[in-house]
Structure 1
Amino acid sequence: MYIKQAFKSLHEWWRYLVGFIVIFLASQFGSIPLLMAVMFKVMADGGDIESIQDPNVMMTVLDSNLTLFLMLLSFAVGLLGVYFVVRYLHRQPFVELTTSRKKTDWGRIFFGFGLITITTLVVTGLDYYSNPEDYVLQFDLVPFVILAVIAVIMIPLQTSFEEYLFRGYLMQGIGVMAKNKWLPLIITSVVFGGLHLANPEVDKFGNIIMIYYIGTGFFLGIMTLMDEGMELALGFHAGNNLITALLVTADWTVFKTNSVLKDISDPSAGFDVIAPVLILYPIFLLLMAWRYKWCDWGGKLFGKVEEPVVIVEENNPNSTFIE
């Protein structure tokens, strides 16, 4: 099983504590270039350094493509931190943090990616057709091409960092310590959602949007536990963020990009904010369950995580078997 295989590596509680600290520091180190670039720009323009303490102001100082690249750089460095912690602190093959299968299933990654990409294109297209006054076509070839290059390279690193940290490292770490599946699912989903509190979307919609963020955490966690691997979550998360960055932006979104469209409407919190959690996510899970023949939902989401018994042959201490 996905969580259970963490027992095959070094899994003492203190390793996960140290590892989490190292990963956090790595991601913070990766954010230094953005902070320095903004500071130099403000100083060169004769502005007030204290103004960049407001995240919304800081994100508008530089060119949007440069801002996006530097913002995503911290996640790329964080992902590198996850890799080194897993490989050298836990002595765990990286594939065992990714999946319970012998190798990463790229077909699942592309399925998750395609599912959300097609859905987003269809939903956005219908809304654009129904409410054209809510959008402005801002396509500009050169800035868009630069955006596309940055997004295709960096956004999968950003989303992979979040998936490997929450649905991977913390899911397995909490699971082997708690010896169950429901606690890591709850903790990782709530913390994942909570970290989005600083997003400008929260200021726009209010705390009700946390239902969407936390619900998304549960959705990604459920598909990881049911599928015994992160591949679907990796693809889905990457597709969601990538197509959003390229297709639509708004002044109140965390990704302010040179996308094809700009949403100029004044949305308010309503049912449409939580509709993905209540309608789309259950449909997606049922579709995945049908495609990948998921079963035993209770056991996979709420079952125990039992440490395997290691048996050593009496006359051959180098021979071990795991039950």
Structure 2
Amino acid sequence: MTQPPLDEQLPYHRLARLAPQYRWWRPLLGTLVVAVGYVVTLVLFMIVCAALGAALGYSQDADGWPEFGPAPDTALDLLSLALGIPVVLLVVRWTGGRPAGSVSSVTGRLRWRWLTLCVLTALPIVALAMGGMFLLPGDGEPQSQWVGWPAFGRAVAMLLVLVPFQAAAEEYVFRGWLTQTAGAFLRSPWAALLPQAVLFAAAHGWGTPWGFADLVVFGACAGWLTWRTGGLEASIALHTVNNLFAFGVSAAVVDGLASDETAADAPWQVVVLDVLSILLYTAAVTWWLRRRRLERTAPAPKPTATAWPYPYAYGHPVPPPWPGHPAAGAPVPPVWAGRPGPGAGVGPVWAGHLGQGAGGEVPGHGAVVAVFPAGQPGPATSVPPVRPERPESGSDLPATSPGEADDGAGRT
């Protein structure tokens, strides 16, 4: 007996094909819906913020946007990016036709214990790189002024709450949706990972060539970790810890959060330290993977069985038979010894056998018996009684000689 083939296992970048009703156009349409849906959601969010600022009496800048202050403006910026999470999850479910959690990992959810371990791994590595940046020589800018503990404490509390959502949203869009969209058409992991890394760098603006290269390295390593671990946890952890340190340093100085500089504007000295920390974190996560068992693939959905409108008879689908009529189009079985052919005369009902038209179940009993031509008794068959005065099933029936018909009362 041939062993049935095993179910195909889909790696993370191929999970767009996890939809039971997958079609090639679903990832492409979903990308358009993600872009339009995020823009619409962002516009509505900005309208609400502008109305709130006007109602509270905040002054407006040249563009008509309320000036809430450096820390509140940073909070609104982080929230505006975090809106990408519900947009992606809804599009995965509705347009992608698959579970929303399939963009989180191959298990259909975020693996919180693994995420916590990755955060603990990233903390000392990023802190070491950040400490090295403070040792770099200055570029001639005036000395920054300490903002004070009260303002710094409020800013850090806000960052601890909102930065994880902002970082996770970028991971869901780039390492999640875009990677799986490319993977729907490309089997090679690197072919699916490299486009999102370039788009991730471009989304942060065009600063220095060093800063752009730093973002490409980050996107490529985060994408590889996502594919290697089967989920977004490792990339979310690195992104979150990195942004917390970066925003925290900015929050420590006066007007630091008001700066519009991004990682794309980093000089080459900072980029060298940052790239080293990214590579060290990637190596550390790979070391953990050798000691922990993680699911890296998900089983592909099985094809849906086709439901035929008619049952099969003799290898062909035919409509169900009507009462008292043969099934339309059903082939007639051949005549064989002991069974009459179509149209053959069948003798009257006699003891132990049924008459013409039978061949299936006896009404009210469910016993199946054969039909024999007139004058040929069949083998001794025990059937349930048809009349109350007949013997019970299993008792000997009175013999009937060939050619003698039953008068209906069991007498010969």
When normalised by structure 1's length, the TM-score is 0.72
Task: Classify the secondary structure of the residue corresponding to 1:3.
Answer: helix
Choose 29-38 or 223-232, whichever is displaced more: 29-38
Give yes or no for contact 2:104–2:232 (8 Å, CA) kept in 1. Answer: yes
Give yes or no for contact 1:23–1:81 (8 Å, CA) kept in 2. Answer: yes
CA–CA separation in structure 2 for the residues paired with 1:14 and 1:164: 20
Task: Classify the secondary structure of the residue corresponding to 1:143.
Answer: helix
CA–CA separation in structure 1 for the residues paired with 2:195 and 2:222: 13
1:291 aligns with 2:297: no
In structure 2, which of residues 164, 189, 195 is the aligned counterpart of residue 181 of structure 1? Answer: 189
When normalised by structure 2's length, the TM-score is 0.58
TM-superposed CA distance for 1:215, in Å, is 0.8
Give yes or no for contact 2:84–2:169 (8 Å, CA) kept in 1. Answer: yes
CA–CA separation in structure 2 for the residues paired with 1:151 and 1:28: 24
Equivalent residue, structure 2, for 1:3 = 13
Task: Classify the secondary structure of the residue corresponding to 2:188.
Answer: coil
TM-superposed CA distance for 1:119, in Å, is 2.4
Matches within 5 A, 1:1-323: 1-9=11-19, 10-32=21-43, 33-34=45-46, 48-49=62-63, 61-101=67-107, 103-125=109-131, 127-128=133-134, 136=144, 138-197=146-205, 202=207, 206-248=208-250, 256-257=256-257, 269-277=267-275, 279-293=276-290, 310=302
Q: Which has the higher helix share?
A: 1
Percent identical: 19
Please give the root-mean-square deviation of Cα atoms over the aligned residues, in Å. 4.0
Unaligned runs of 5+ in 2: 1-10, 260-264, 309-412
Give yes or no for contact 2:175–2:232 (8 Å, CA) kept in 1. Answer: yes
CA–CA separation in structure 2 for the residues paired with 1:186 and 1:127: 28
TM-superposed CA distance for 1:65, in Å, is 1.3
CA–CA separation in structure 2 for the residues paired with 1:315 and 1:91: 22
Choose 115-124 or 217-226, whichever is displaced more: 115-124
TM-superposed CA distance for 1:128, in Å, is 4.1
TM-superposed CA distance for 1:134, in Å, is 8.2
Relative contact order, higher structure (CA 8 A, sep 6+):
1
TM-superposed CA distance for 1:47, in Å, is 5.9
CA–CA separation in structure 1 for the residues paired with 2:236 and 2:279: 18
Task: Classify the secondary structure of the residue corresponding to 2:184.
Answer: helix
Equivalent residue, structure 2, for 1:297 = none
- The verdict on how the C-alpha distance between 1:258 and 1:170 changes in structure 2, with shifts beyond 3 A counting, is closer
Give yes or no for contact 1:246–1:258 (8 Å, CA) kept in 2. Answer: no
CA–CA separation in structure 1 for the residues paired with 2:304 and 2:100: 26
CA–CA separation in structure 2 for the residues paired with 1:138 and 1:126: 20
Task: Classify the secondary structure of the residue corresponding to 1:101.
Answer: coil
Partner letter of residue 224 of structure 2? I
Partner letter of residue 278 of structure 2? Y
Q: Work out which of the two has the higher radius of gyration on C-alpha atoms and give 1 or 2.
A: 2
CA–CA separation in structure 1 for the residues paired with 2:229 and 2:98: 20
CA–CA separation in structure 2 for the residues paired with 1:258 and 1:239: 20
Cα deviations across residues 66-96 of structure 1 (Å, max 9, x unaligned)?
1112112222222111111112222322322
CA–CA separation in structure 1 for the residues paired with 2:68 and 2:180: 39
CA–CA separation in structure 2 for the residues paired with 1:7 and 1:289: 27
- The verdict on how the C-alpha distance between 1:136 and 1:117 changes in structure 2, with shifts beyond 3 A counting, is farther
TM-superposed CA distance for 1:232, in Å, is 0.7
User: How many aligned residue pairs are there?
Assistant: 282
CA–CA separation in structure 1 for the residues paired with 2:162 and 2:271: 27
Partner letter of residue 178 of structure 1? L
CA–CA separation in structure 1 for the residues paired with 2:125 and 2:143: 19
Task: Classify the secondary structure of the residue corresponding to 2:231.
Answer: coil
Task: Classify the secondary structure of the residue corresponding to 2:185.
Answer: helix
TM-superposed CA distance for 1:116, in Å, is 2.9
CA–CA separation in structure 1 for the residues paired with 2:268 and 2:67: 32
